[in-house]
Amino acid sequence: MTSTGLDSATRQRFQERAQAEGLVDVAFATMDSPVGSLLLAATARGLVEIAFTRNGTRVDDALDELARKVSPRILEAPARLDPVRSQLDEYFNGHRVDFDVRLDRSLMGPFARRVLGRTERIPYGSVSTYAQVARHIGAPRAARAVGNALAANPIPVIVPCHRVVRTGGALGGYGGGLDRKEWLLDLEGARGREQ
């Protein structure tokens, strides 16, 4: 639910009252970044999604999915996501290597949680392979399944699935597109630096 058509003061009062009365389960905001427009969504537990958007259509798709999977009580509430946006800005400007953001992992299944939990431990400026991640989580034959879990990562950038590449250094896939993966790895100086 967006609060468009209202002046900013009225919109802010509406957002504050809805949140104060417990009517908002998912707050969202958008932000521009060097890798395109991002939709950020958070629950009371933490950041639940970062979605790459194109032409505005992905925003609606992402909000529809959040309504189905988390809660239909969604409100645009940028102030609630200001700390996340600030940390992302610092990262994109080369001034942050780690994030201090609470995460809501409710959009991740058990296998994906293991994969993405391991992925979170890949340091800034390093890469790992799908096979290495599979071995680290105790599923050495599951490199393809690891790739699928990474492609469905609901919190890219902060959960750095871009740091996982194919054995031999080829980029592999990326849910946000290979151009974004390449940009993020270049930002971190991680191209060709396996862990």
Interatomic CA distance for residues 106 and 148, integer angstroms: 17
98 an active-site residue?
no
Task: Give the angle subtended at the CA of 159 by the CAs of 191 and 1, to the nearest 5°.
Answer: 130
State the pairing for strand pair 74-76/128-129: unpaired
Buried b (16+ CB within 10 A) or exposed e, 129-150: bbbbbbbbbeeeebbebbbebb
Reference 36, options 49, 54, 23; nearest CA is 54
Interatomic CA distance for residues 118 and 112, integer angstroms: 10
H or E stretch covering 119: helix 110-119
From 41, 84, 161, 164, active-site residue: 161
Q: Which residues are catalytic?
A: 161
